[in-house]
Amino acid sequence: MKQSVLFLCTGNSARSQMAEGWLRHLAGDRYEVFSAGTHPVGLNPGSVEAMAEVGIDISQHRSKSAMEFAATPLDYVVTVCDRAKETCPLWSGNTTLIHWSFDDPAAVADAEGRRLAFRRVRDEIASAIRQFLADRKP
C-alpha cells in the first residue's frame, strides 16, 4: 500500500503545488501525493512556468482546500510555509507532520525578480523532496 503525502501551504498556488509536482516526478508511483491550502487562491502561473522549465507539467493542477482531505488517512503532512504551519488543521490517525519553510515567490514585487524567486524556490523544494526520498528509501 502506498504512503500518502499532503503538501500544505496557505494559498495552494505555488510552493505546495511545486512540491506535489516534484514528488510525483521524482518518486513515480511510490506515493499518493496531494497538495492543498488553508485558504486556496488558485494556481499561480509562475509555478506552472517554473516547473515547465524543468520538464514537469503542473498546468492541470487545481487549488484545493485542506478541508477536502479532512477524512483522508495521510501518512505525512508537509507544511511548506510558516503560516500554514501555524494554522495547520489537526489530522487524525498516525500522521507525521513535517515543516519546511520556503519563501513565497509570488510576494516578489517586480516581474523579473518574481520569475527568479519562483526558480529559486522550485530548486529549493526539489532539494527537500530529494532528501525526503533519501530518508525513506524502500
CA distances from 68 to 34, 39, 58, 65, 79 (A): 10, 12, 19, 6, 16
Residue of 9, 14, 8 whose CA lies nearest to 119: 14
Q: Per-residue pLDDT averaged across 104-126, rounded?
A: 96
CATH number at residue 51: 3.40.50.2300
Confidence bin at 1 (pLDDT 50/70/90): confident
Catalytic residue among 5, 14, 81, 128: 81
Q: What is the pLDDT of residues 127-138, one digit of tens each?
A: 999 999 999 876
Catalytic residue among 88, 97, 98, 133: 88
Answer yes or no: 88 catalytic: yes
pLDDT for the residue numbered 93 = 74
Greater pLDDT, 47 or 136: 47
Angle CA(19)–CA(68)–CA(121) in degrees, nearest 5? 15
Q: What is the pLDDT of residues 73-100, one digit of tens each?
A: 899 999 998 676 666 666 667 889 899 9
Asked whether 36 and 5 are in contact (CB, 8 A), the reply is no
Answer yes or no: 9 catalytic: yes
Answer yes or no: 121 catalytic: no
pLDDT for the residue numbered 89 = 61
Q: How many domains does the chain have?
A: 1
Task: Please state whether the predicted TM-score (pTM) of the whole model is above 0.95.
Answer: no
Q: Which domain holds residue 58?
A: 3-135
